[in-house]
Amino acid sequence: MTKEELFEQITKKKSFLCIGLDTDLSKIPTHLLQLEDPFFEFNKKIIDATHNYCVAYKLNTAFYEAMGLKGWKSLEKTINYLNQKYPNLFTIADAKRGDIGNTSKMYATAFLENLNFDSITVAPYMGKDSVSPFLEYKNKWVILLALTSNSGSDDFQTQETKSGLLYEQVLTTSKQWGNEGNMMYVVGATKAEMLGKIRSIIPNHFLLVPGVGAQGGSLQEVAKYGMNSQCGLLVNASRSIIYAGNGSDFAEKAAKEAQTMQQEMASLL
């Protein structure tokens, strides 16, 4: 998906919501557990109920890998379902991968080629040749970790280097590896006050913003400091939406929660 196509979807749906499918067997409604593939059934119902309110879905690979072979199958079925039924939705493999060149190439094959995700989250620590293989696919995206939403982000990301804080250096250096049409950055909503500085380094790139919802970040603050002329934001919510309900009406409750966020987003756009 191109940047223009993504912005078109945002404009059309008046939403920059990304829904995170952090599907967890211990949290999904118990009536699904008797089905052959509870993960996929849950995801399908959530997607069908919420797709009008969001522009992206993010699949957190850890939750699927924790289920082994079965989980990988559910991951495949979910991304295939999204690509076939909702081709206008932007898809994110939230995989936090990154390794030496020949290995990153394999991860790119796995997620951008075989599974055909639009994008993958990548960790920056190993530098340029660990990121470049993901940038070789047309209309696919790297979403590079810059400033994450967790407490550990202060251990290294906000440490001072010779060229600003580490995450600022990551932005300044890495923006030369790709362009505004194939790179986005992860910036946590819990660090909204830093978005002003971030926008001075990368005014036009899209940001994937986790941390609104269960992690406590504010949507208003994110929009205030992070929005640009083409929106430039994908705000993710996972648990607060997909686990809004736990009964037979879980999908409707998720839809209601997603709609509430969409309406708030519409007023901010």
Which amino acids are annotated catalytic?
96
Q: In what helix (H) or strand (E) does residue 184 lie, and over which residues does it extend?
A: strand 183-187
Looking at the Cβ atoms of 159 and 267, the one nearer to a copy of itself is 159
76 binds a copy of itself (CB under 8 A): yes
Both tokens assigned to 23: 């599907």
How far is Cα of residue 17 from the mean position of the Cα atoms in its chain? Answer: 10
Question: Do the Cβ atoms of 39 and 73 come closer than 8 Å?
Answer: no
The only residue of 29, 38, 124, 232 in contact with a copy of itself, by rule CB under 8 A? 124
Complex with a copy of itself: residue 10 or 244, whichever CB lies closer: 244
* From 2-10, 37-45, 56-64, 191-199, span contacting a copy of itself (CB under 8 A): 56-64
Residue 217 interacts with a copy of itself (CB under 8 A)? no
| Residues with Cβ within 8 Å of residue 84, at least 6 apart in sequence | none
Residue placing its CB nearer to a copy of itself in the complex, 66 or 266: 66
State the Cα–Cα distance between residues 32 and 220, nearest whole angstrom.
35
How, if at all, do strands 141-147 and 206-209 pair?
unpaired
- Angle at CA 36, nearest 5°, toward 34 and 42? 80
Q: Of the listed pieces 51-59, 83-91, 155-163, 193-201, which binds a copy of itself according to CB under 8 A?
A: 155-163
DSSP alpha helix (H) spans, the chain: 3-13, 38-50, 61-65, 68-85, 101-108, 128-131, 153-156, 166-174, 195-201, 219-226, 239-242, 250-268
User: Of 85-104, which residues contact a copy of itself (CB under 8 A)?
Assistant: 94, 96-104
153 lies in the binding site for a copy of itself (CB under 8 A): yes
Among 34, 84, 151, 229, binds a copy of itself (CB under 8 A): 151
Residue 237 · residue 216 · CB < 8 Å: no
Q: Which is nearer to a copy of itself, 141 or 167 (CB)?
A: 167
194 binds a copy of itself (CB under 8 A): no
CB 124 within 8 A of CB 152: no
Using rule CB under 8 A, residue 81 touches a copy of itself: no
Does 126 bind a copy of itself (CB under 8 A)? Our answer is yes
Q: Which two tokens stand for residue 163?
A: 């060229």
Q: Shortest Cβ distance from residue 178 to a copy of itself (Å)?
A: 14
Q: Which stretch binds a copy of itself (CB under 8 A): 46-54, 65-73, 217-225, 254-262?
A: 65-73
Distances (CA, A) of 117 to 90, 193, 213: 8, 31, 24
Select 76 or 264, whichever has its Cβ closest to a copy of itself.
Answer: 76
Whether residue 49 contacts residue 251, with contact meaning beta carbons closer than 8 Å, is answered with yes
Binding-site ranges for a copy of itself (CB under 8 A): 22, 24, 60, 62-63, 65-66, 68-69, 72-73, 76, 94, 96-104, 106-107, 109-111, 114-115, 123-131, 145, 148-157, 159-163, 166, 169-170, 173-174
